[in-house]
Amino acid sequence: MSVVTRFAPSPTGLLHIGGVRTALFSWLYARRHGGKFILRVEDTDRERSTDEAVRVIVEGMQWLGLAHDEGPYFQTARFPRYQEVIAQWLAEGKAYRCYCTKEELEQLRTEQMARKEKPRYDGRWRDRTDSRPGVDPVIRFRNPLEGEVVVEDQVHGRVVFRNSELDDLVIARGDGTPTYNFCVVVDDADMGVTHVIRGDDHLNNTPRQMNMLAALGAKIPVYAHVPMILGPDGAKLSKRHGAVSVLQYEEDGYLPDALLNYLVRLGWSHGDQEVFTRAEMVAAFDIADVNKSASAFNPEKLLWLNQQHLMHSDPATVVPYLKPHLARVGIDIATGPGADDAFLARIVVAQRERVKTLKEMAQASRYFFGEAVELDAKAATKHLSDEGREVLTALRATLEGVTDWTAAPLNAALNAFATARGIGLGKVAQPLRVAVTGNTISPPIDLTLELLGRERSMARLDRALQP
């Protein structure tokens, strides 16, 4: 059997990491088994669905590199198909019209709650054939009254529900539009979905869906309900923490592979391995190894992983992700000593050990671009004092004599200079660093000089030495 998985977000809120993780699991499972991954947008709630949310889903998935093999399908485009099934079920008696008013149902619920019962529809129109003028009926699915539905869940194991706990759910509203649980069933059946991987908040919906799938004569897919992601405080994921648009992570300077790596390790592990490339994830992932309990989102670990990916990736692959961040901090690449991708790749290598995000990398790389540099007042006071200036003045002559402006010779010259003067390298490197970068932090001074180039380095040194 060929595997077909799907990611079916609803565009009523912006796609966030919770959704991304279920998408990732579905994608991983399909890739791992050489199957098909479908993207389906569940937009039956026209009131709350927004174009913005659809955009985030499509762009987000694209940024993440979770490519779908089919779709995106939109449920609103499939209404005729849903109507067809409803008409058929009505004819076959698998569904029926219910003329209850909302007030009536509200009253029923209130009474049941008062009796400490689980509120549910009591089936009062289940066997009626008359109608009630003035009320647009809803269509309800005729759920079996007896027996059990057994979900053989890949992560939770065997979960049993009694049909007596289930009521006849609404599959079409008074205005004729179909509802979520019903659309899911028709879609999963029509699209040949073999593995349904979704959040475990849907576990309770599963028996109803299985009953409808049976009514449709469709094969029951394999279910895997993965635990939810909690906020760092252990509470439900909120806007304040993590429940932001997945595109926010791009803006914050994360690499898609790092975010995916972080997310896959939430509720899943493979021995002691923490860092996974995309290929490693695909090779090692199995839905059956996913944990059952919810896990808290930990921003620090995401940050750490992002740096791990920055450090272990081929720098050339990082450059395209860095560029937008350079632009965002106002850097014009053309004003650097090298305006090509190769130069940017060298910056990536030089900076990646000292930053955790691409955003930080861009901010920390300002001095590699533009001609002059602005000296940080505090740094200048400390390192460009009389003593520092005296050292730099002498050093200037030494640097003039360096013919091969690359890290190794520069390093040798700097060390020889310090040794000759009987001072530590720190007394030389720090004033020089402040002079050429404007501040006290940069990659090793020899590499910094090399990347800046001879001309730019000397010009900045001279400028710093001016009274």
Residue 115 neighbours by CB under 8 Å, 6+ apart? none
> 286: how many CB neighbours lie within 10 A of its CB?
13
Q: Which is nearer to RNA, 12 or 277 (CB)?
A: 12
Q: Tell me which stretch binds RNA (CB under 7 A): 14-22, 96-104, 340-348, 367-375.
A: 96-104
Q: What residues from 256 to 285 belong to the interface with RNA (CB under 7 A)?
A: 265-269, 271-272, 274
Q: Is 354 in the site for RNA (CB under 7 A)?
A: yes
Contact 323, 375 (CB under 8 A): no
Q: Which is nearer to RNA, 35 or 437 (CB)?
A: 437
State in angstroms the smallest separation of the CB of 29 from RNA: 17
239 is annotated as an active-site residue = yes
State in angstroms the smallest separation of the CB of 109 from RNA: 6
Q: Tell me which stretch binds RNA (CB under 7 A): 21-29, 79-87, 135-143, 392-400.
A: 135-143
Q: What residues from 39 to 78 belong to the interface with RNA (CB under 7 A)?
A: 42-45, 48
Residue 190 neighbours by CB under 8 Å, 6+ apart? 81
Among 102, 219, 236, 239, the active-site one is: 239
Q: Which is nearer to RNA, 100 or 331 (CB)?
A: 100
Q: Which is nearer to RNA, 35 or 315 (CB)?
A: 315
From candidates 77, 102, 277, 408, binder to RNA by CB under 7 A: 102
Cis bond before residue 119 (omega within 30° of 0): no
Instruction: State whether residue 407 is helix, strand or coil.
Output: helix
From candidates 3, 54, 58, 135, binder to RNA by CB under 7 A: 135
Q: Which of 352, 362, 348 has its CA nearest to residue 316?
A: 348
Q: Which two tokens stand for residue 345?
A: 């790749």
From candidates 109, 241, 278, 328, binder to RNA by CB under 7 A: 109
Question: How far apart (Å, rounded) are the C-alpha atoms in residues 337 and 371?
Answer: 9
Q: What residues from 153 to 182 belong to the interface with RNA (CB under 7 A)?
A: 156-157, 159-161, 165, 167, 169-170, 173-175, 179-181
Q: Kindly provide the residue ranges of all beta strands, DSSP E only, lying in 239-344, ordered along the sequence.
A: 295-296
Per-residue x/- mask for RNA, residues 378 to 417, rule CB under 7 A?
A: ---------------------------------x------
Q: Tell me which H or E stretch contains 108.
A: helix 102-114
Q: Which of 466, 461, 447 has its CA nearest to residue 395?
A: 461
Q: Which is nearer to RNA, 132 or 278 (CB)?
A: 132
Side chain identity, residue 149: V
Q: What residues from 285 to 314 belong to the interface with RNA (CB under 7 A)?
A: 289, 291-296, 298, 300-301, 303-304, 307-308, 311
Strand partners, 313: none
Strand partners, 224: 197
Q: Is 230 in the site for RNA (CB under 7 A)?
A: yes
Q: Which of 381, 372, 361, 394 has its CA nearest to residue 452?
A: 372
Q: Which is nearer to RNA, 30 or 229 (CB)?
A: 229
Strand partners, 398: none
Q: What residues from 426 to 455 belong to the interface with RNA (CB under 7 A)?
A: 426, 429-430, 433, 440-446
Q: What is the total count of residues that contact RNA (CB under 7 A)? A: 89
Q: Which two tokens stand for residue 51?
A: 């174009």
Rounded to 5 degrees, φ, ψ at 197 are -115, 120
Active site residues: 239
